[in-house]
Structures are given as structure tokens and as C-alpha cells.
A and B are shown apart, each in its own frame.
Chain A
């Protein structure tokens, strides 16, 4: 295995990690603030890809503004979902929330079929990016760099938002002590709506951003949500940086696992999740739950 090949494989893993991060970070934010495991998260990701195809009418050159529009639509859809469906079940046992988001998964999957048809959709990258870049004598899709850059941009923006703005501080507080926020007179329901909407906007953005490299079908939702779970469980439920680390590890394990045992690359990923859950059930960067008495 020569060095240039390793670099290429690493970059491929990084591109995969980038779309995993966009997919999973919203799931983690939502779990952190709302305490809800969103089984429909992969469906919003899938929906994002379809929305992009729809808003640009299948024209690859519309990608840039298309991504912005899709993220905005995702925000609106997320806000509406939270207000109408999730809010009534916050105080109910966890399994109702799981069942509700699972129902949403089914509805979105078939809803997309109904509106967009069951056929696979694909959209090439914009003409300027449709050529491979040559790295150490091997071709590498230029669009992968867009995905990597987008993930980095989102990670940096999230860092700035969470660490440097007042609203971000409130979101962080919501993941730790909701009652305290209420006592401070913060409009917590509105904050939770915003967090959920943000999480969904990121998922739709992530889904849309993969469309130029990947054909999509409604069926990708159930695989996507499992990938997202693995990422956040490995990284730590509720942790944004955990999602970044988890996505990176899983992207690279996939990229290099394929070289070792091509058949079982995906099994390596599940194995990593199992090991993390056994050793650090709260994830690599998650916070351990309060000491049990």
C-alpha cells in the first residue's frame, strides 16, 4: 500500500465523514436539548436531497443557492414538526417519543414517494467541479472538497454560535438544566422549537449536499438514521464535538476497513459502537450521567 493511496483513502473517508457530521450533528443537538431520540432524522436528510432536486429543477448549476433554500425549508419544516407533533409528547415516556418519530419516518418516506415518485434521483456536481483533481497521480472527485469544506464551515459556525453568542449559551444551558432556564424567565418552548428546527435544517442541508455525488431514493432514510445513531453514540449523545469526532472515526474506519476486509467494513463500524457503549456508555465526548445513588 503506497503513501499516495493512503492519502486518497484518507480524503475519501474525510468526505464521507463530512456528510455523516452534517447528518448526525442535528440529531445530537436535538437529543441534548429535547431529550428525544429522533428516528426520523434520516428521513429529513433524505428529504433534503429531494428538496434540492426539486428547487433547482434538476439543474446542477443551481446547487449553491439551492443549498441555502433547502436549509431554510428544513428549518421551517422542523419548527412546524416540533410545534405540532413533538410538543404534546415531551412529558410522556420515552417510547412514545420513539414511536412518534418512527411514525414520522414512515410518513416522510412515503410522502416523498407520493410527491417525487419512487425513482432514484441524481444531480451531478456543477460543471466547474465535475472534473477530478489529481492527487499523487490518482483522480479524486473535486466535489468531495466542497463537502469537506461545508462540514468545516458548519462546525466552525456552530462553535461560534454555541460558544460566542447569547442564544448559543442558552442552547448549551438547555442541554444541562432546563428548569434553571425556566427559572431565569427564558421562553424555553420557543428555544426548543429553534433547536429542533436548527437540527432538521442541518440534516436537510447534509442530505442536499450529498446529492451531487450520490443517487438517492426514499429508502436511504432508514440507513441514514442508523449511521447518524452510530455517530452520536460513539461521539456522545448531545455533544456537538462528539458528533464531529464520531463522524471522523466512522468515515475513516469505513474508508480503511474496506481495504482490510471489504465485506465487513460496516461490521467494524457497529463493533466500534458496541465497544464504546460498553466502555463509555455516554460516548467518547459525552458527559457521564449523574452518579446513581
Chain B
């Protein structure tokens, strides 16, 4: 029951944070929650199926742009754009996944990267629709969601929901089927599983969740930029997941927290945050192969 105690403590802290932290720290916390949702979504594909997607920025960006465009052009209230953001991202993932999940290993990584960059190139240049590299700025998420505390709770709620869904999938027959396909695709087929459908469903769902993270990013930044879809954005999710420990369900969230908090801490002191991050990652890869969750020993699976 020790784990339950720890869980309640973490939940209490997360809920009480807006009353404990100054506004600046809360802004950072929102960013950490957004990345946590994004990285958890990415990791659903990475950990359960073993496929490393380098294209999740496209889904993050699709969610963000769906939300931003509906607010800007159709004057939808911010919150009502959530279903559209999730659907757009999920649909894009369905399309990209349809072509990608058949391929294996490094080809999957390259194909997802290529598709995402294709989407980025279009968003980046299509001034008439997406505003091109100027992005979409000056959005007003409404009085309530403009308040950092309200936004924090929204982000926390979406992250918690996303995490709960990923956890549920992990323990369900569907999750086991995904890991069976990862462990041994030939044997998986020989027990009657057809890999394609499972992989595509997981990839699309993961993309939809990443879209929800993009939706939050719009409110946090009150803008959407092509950078949301650039390949380095995908790298953030990968870093967070591996930093925290991809084999633990909470690993990506933990990694996101460390990534964002460390980033804020370092950036307040030096402009050389990428250098510090690079050195941290080098140390991580060379000395801490199981991620931060690996420090807690093998019993790290939720």
C-alpha cells in the first residue's frame, strides 16, 4: 500500500500547486504538463510497439493549428475546439500511420519523420491559410482559460485523462496484443493477431492524444507556430520519454517534469541551455540506460 500513499501525495501536490507556486512557476508547470501529455502519447507507440516515431510533432501541431484556426477564423470558444483538435490530429495520424506502420524499425522512424516534415513544410509556407512562418498569433482563449491557474487545472485534467487512458490500454488485452507484436510479430500472427490493425489503432490514438497536447499549447502561448511541427519538437517527446524511462508508464511524465524544470532553471542563468541538455543526455545515455525511473529499481512498472 506504500505505492498508494505515494500516489495520493503526488495527486495532492499536483492539485494544490496553484496555491503553493507563484505565477511564473505555474507557467512552467503548465509547460511541463503539456510536454508530459505529449511524451506519454508518444510513448504509447514507442514502449508498447517498439516503433520509434520521429513524426509526433505533426500531430501536436495538427491539434494546435486546428484549435488556433477555429478560434481565429470561426471564432469558436477555446474549449470547444478540443474535440476538433483531437480529431484532426487523430485523423492525420491515421493517414500517416496507414503508410508507416507496415515498415519496420529505422524505416518507420524515417517515414514518420518524412511525413511530419512534409506537413511542416506545407504549414510553414501556406501563408493564405496557416499564416506561414508568422504563425497564428494574438489568440484569446477567453477570460477563464487566460488565467494561469485555470489553464493549469485544464492541463492537469487532460494529462490525467491521457495518462489514465494509456494506463488502461497498457493493462488491457489490446496492450498485451501490442507488446506481443513488439516481442515477436511472427508468433503474434500465429496466435491469430493481425499486426497492422493493432499498430494503426495505437498510432492513431497516440496521435490524437498528442493533438490534445497541441491544443493546450495554443492557450499557453496564445499562438500557433510552424515550430510546433518541426522535427526538433518530436525530439522533445523522445528525450522526455527516454530521460524518464520509457519502460515505466509514468516515465515520460517524470522525464517531462525534469526536462522542463531543468530547462527553466538553466535558462534563467545562461543562454546555453541546449549545451547543458546535450551534456545531460550524453551522461544519461552513457551512464543511466534505464532512465530516471530505472533508479527506482525494476519495480517501476505502474
Contacts and interface: CB of A to CB of B under 8 A. Distances in A.
Interface residues of B, number: 42
B118 A99 contact: no
A113 B121 contact: no
A107 B285 contact: no
Interface string B111-125: 101110110011001
Given A102-B235, A267-B125, A270-B121, A94 B279 contact: no
Q: What DSSP secondary structure best describes chain B's contact surface?
A: helix
A126 interface: no
Contacts, number: 114
Given A99-B281, A106-B278, A267-B121, A94 B114 contact: no
B45 to A, nearest CB: 12
Interface string A102-127: 11111101110110000000000000
B274 A106 contact: yes
Q: How large is the interface on A (under 10, 10 to 19, 20 to 34, 35 or more residues)?
A: 35 or more
A77 interface: no
A277 B122 contact: no
Contacts of B34: none
Interface in B251-287: 272, 274-275, 277-282, 284-286
A263 B125 contact: yes
B232 interface: yes
A237 B121 contact: no
Contacts of A273: 114, 118
Contacts of B107: 277, 281-282
Contact of B278 (A105, A267, A277, A282): A105
B111 A274 contact: yes
Interface in B11-53: 46, 52
B114 A281 contact: no
B232 to A, nearest CB: 6
A85 B285 CA distance: 10
A94 B239 contact: no
A99 B111 contact: no
B110 A277 contact: yes
B231 A226 contact: yes
Contacts of B118: 267, 270-271, 273-274
B134 interface: no
A264 B113 contact: no
Contacts of B246: 95
A89 interface: yes
Nearest to A275: B114
B103 A96 contact: no
Given A99-B239, A103-B282, A263-B125, A270 B117 contact: yes
B177 interface: no
B289 interface: yes
B126 A263 contact: yes
B187 interface: no
A124 B115 CA distance: 37
A266 interface: yes
Given A85-B286, A274-B115, A281-B111, A95 B242 contact: yes
